[in-house]
C-alpha cells in the first residue's frame, strides 16, 4: 500500500506544489488538503508547507492556526500522526502549541534567501531517520520571520531532551552558507516535539530534492524518504 502524505494549502501558501512533488519523488502519494476542510482524507502524515499564510498578518502563522484543518491536524498529531512544518508551517506549529517557542522577525530586519548549511542534531525523528547525527547538509532558506525564540528554561529542555533537530552551522563564510541567518537563539533551525512525530524547521527541504531543480542538491530528499520508511514499517 502506498503511503499517503497530505499537504495543506492555506491562503498565501507558496510551496505546496513543490512539497507535493518532493513527496512523489520519494515514492509516496501526495494528497492536497484545503485549509477550510477538517477532513484529512485518511492520510498517513501531513506537511504544512512554506509561504505567507494570510499575509502573515498579526503574526506569521497566527491566523492559519485557527483554520478548520488545524483542528484535525492538532488532534491527530497528539495521537502520533507525523507532521512536518516547513518555514511558515513551522510558524503555524508554534502558534498551535504543537511545538514550543515562537518565531520573530529576522534580527537584521530583512528578508533572506540563500543556500544554508545545517547540522543534523537528531536523526531519530519520524522525518530525519535517513540522515546521520552530526551530518552537515545544504538546504535553501527563505524567510522574513525566521528567528526562533524561547525562554531559557524551554531552550534548556529542548537541548536536554535532544529535541533540537537542526542547527545553523557557524564558523565559515556567510557567503558560503555558514552562520546564523536570522538571529535564532542557540542557532536553532528546527525542533521536534517530545515524541518525535512533529518536526518544524525554517529551511526548505522540498527545494533540494533533485539535481536540476531548486538548489541543484538532493540534501532535502531524506526528509521525505524518512517518513515513507517510517510509515511503511509502522
Residues annotated as catalytic are 87, 204, 206
DSSP state of 41: T
Q: Which of 137, 112, 113, 111 is nearest to 190 (CA)?
A: 137
> Contact, 181 vs 112, CB < 8 A?
yes
Q: In whole angstroms, give the CA distance from residue 220 to residue 80.
A: 23
Length of the chain: 234
- What are the backbone dihedrals phi and psi of residue 7, each rounded to the nearest 5 degrees, phi first? -125, 115
161 CB contacts (<8 Å, ≥6 apart)?
A: 194
Strand partners, 168: 118
Exposure b/e, 107-123, CB count within 10 A at least 16 = b = eeeeeeebbbbbbbbbb
Amino acid at each position: 500500500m502506498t503511503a499517503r502524505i497530505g499537504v495543506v494549502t492555506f491562503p498565501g501558501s507558496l510551496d505546496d506544489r513543490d512539497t507535493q512533488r518532493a513527496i512523489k519523488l520519494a515514492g509516496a502519494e501526495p494528497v492536497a488538503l484545503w485549509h477550510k476542510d477538517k477532513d484529512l482524507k485518511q492520510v498517513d502524515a501531513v506537511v504544512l508547507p512554506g509561504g505567507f499564510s494570510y499575509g502573515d498578518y498579526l503574526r506569521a502563522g497566527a491566523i492559519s492556526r485557527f483554520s478548520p484543518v488545524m483542528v484535525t491536524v492538532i488532534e491527530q498529531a497528539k495521537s502520533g500522526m507525523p507532521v512536518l512544518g516547513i518555514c511558515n508551517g513551522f510558524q503555524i506549529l508554534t502558534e498551535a502549541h504543537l511545538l514550543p517557542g515562537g518565531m520573530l522577525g529576522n534580527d537584521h530586519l530583512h528578508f533572506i534567501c540563500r543556500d544554508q548549511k545545517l547540522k543534523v542534531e537528531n536523526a531519530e525523528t519520524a522525518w530525519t531517520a535517513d540522515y546521520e547525527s552530526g551530518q552537515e547538509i545544504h538546504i535553501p532558506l527563505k524567510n522574513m520571520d525566521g528567528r526562533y525564540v524561547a525562554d531559557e528554561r524551554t531552550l534548556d529542555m529542548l537541548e536536554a531532551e535532544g529535541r533540537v533537530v537542526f542547527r545553523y552551522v557557524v564558523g565559515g563564510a556567510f557567503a558560503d552558507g555558514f552562520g546564523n541567518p536570522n538571529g535564532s537563539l542557540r542557532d536553532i533551525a528546527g525542533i521536534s516535539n517530545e515524541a518525535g512525530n512533529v518536526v518544524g524547521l525554517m529551511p526548505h527541504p522540498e527545494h533540494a530534492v533533485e539535481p536540476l531543480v531548486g538548489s541543484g542538491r538532493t540534501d532535502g530528499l531524506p526528509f521525505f524518504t524518512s517518513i515513507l520508511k517510517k510509515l511503511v514499517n509502522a
